[in-house]
Amino acid sequence: MKRKLAILTCVVFVLGLFSSGSALAGRPDKDWKDWFGHFAIGYVIPEGDFGDVVDDTWNLSGGATWWPGAVGLDLDLGWNDFDVSSEAIRRLNDELEPPSTGTIDDGTITVWSLTADAIWSPETQGSVSFYLAGGIGTYYLDGQLTTRGLVYYPPSCQPYPPYWCYPGGVGSANIVVGSESSWEFGYNAAIGLNFELASGSQIYVEGKYHYINTDQALTFIPIQVGYRW
């Protein structure tokens, strides 16, 4: 259902490219330029099967938007660092069979997203406007499982004054017991609110649904607060 909704939203944006007028609409009120930078921080909610494996997390994103009229093009780079949930770790350890004697103590899944979206906002009165966005993206996934163990640290000296040296020794550290990374294709759909500032820049609040086309669909929703200038 969510996949169909995301596709339908993207279709609406494409149609908007041919039907929208030239009003400034929800874009920042800066007549002298059409490119705008943005930066956002948000809270990420994993969905579906992915939500059974990882915990909620925080994310960062930033990019640029070409927004000459009611319709524009939004380019965004996002970073999300999920912790594997304690329940998923327990299930993994239950599945370990002899001769394995180790345990998995922790795990992370890092998701980098690079998306290109059509963005549309209708002409409105006042300092608040809404917008819709949607498009495609490429995603880099990097997962690791680790266990705590003892490792040897070799001695080292810093290469600058006062040239302190540190003796080697044995200490506790996270040891990677399994890792995998891949590039995947996906798409997204978003809805947001713009709040115009006196400077013409904007504060915005956005919810964005990501669908990554893996063997088992990986989906998550960042809810972000950002600044567009």
H-helix segments, the chain: 2-19, 48-51, 86-95
Category of 82 on φ-ψ map: left (φ > 0), alpha (ψ -120 to 50) or beta? beta
Say which CATH number the domain at 138 has: 2.40.160.20
Q: What is the pLDDT of residue 164?
A: 86
pLDDT of residue 101: 52
For 115-160, write each residue's pLDDT tens digit: 999 999 987 778 899 999 999 999 999 999 988 777 777 888 888 8
Indicate the burial class of 210 (C-beta count within 10 angstroms; 0-12, 13-18, 19 or more).
buried
User: Which range of residues forms the domain containing residue 70?
Assistant: 2-228
Residues 6+ apart with CB under 8 A from 219: 2, 46, 47, 48, 50, 209, 210, 211, 212
Q: Supply the pLDDT for residue 11.
A: 46
pLDDT at 98: 60
The per-residue pLDDT for 18 is: 40
Report which residue type is found at 123: E
Neighbours of 205 (CB within 10 A): 16
Domains identified in the chain, total number: 1
Name the DSSP class of 54: B
* pLDDT at residue 202, as a whole number: 96
Exposure b/e, 15-54, CB count within 10 A at least 16 = b: ebeeebeeebbbbbebeeeeebebebebebebbeebbebb
What pLDDT score was predicted for residue 184? Answer: 96
pLDDT in tens, 29-49: 898 999 999 999 999 999 999
Ranges of residues in the chain with a pLDDT under 70 are 1-25, 97-102
Please report the pLDDT score of residue 56 as a whole number: 96
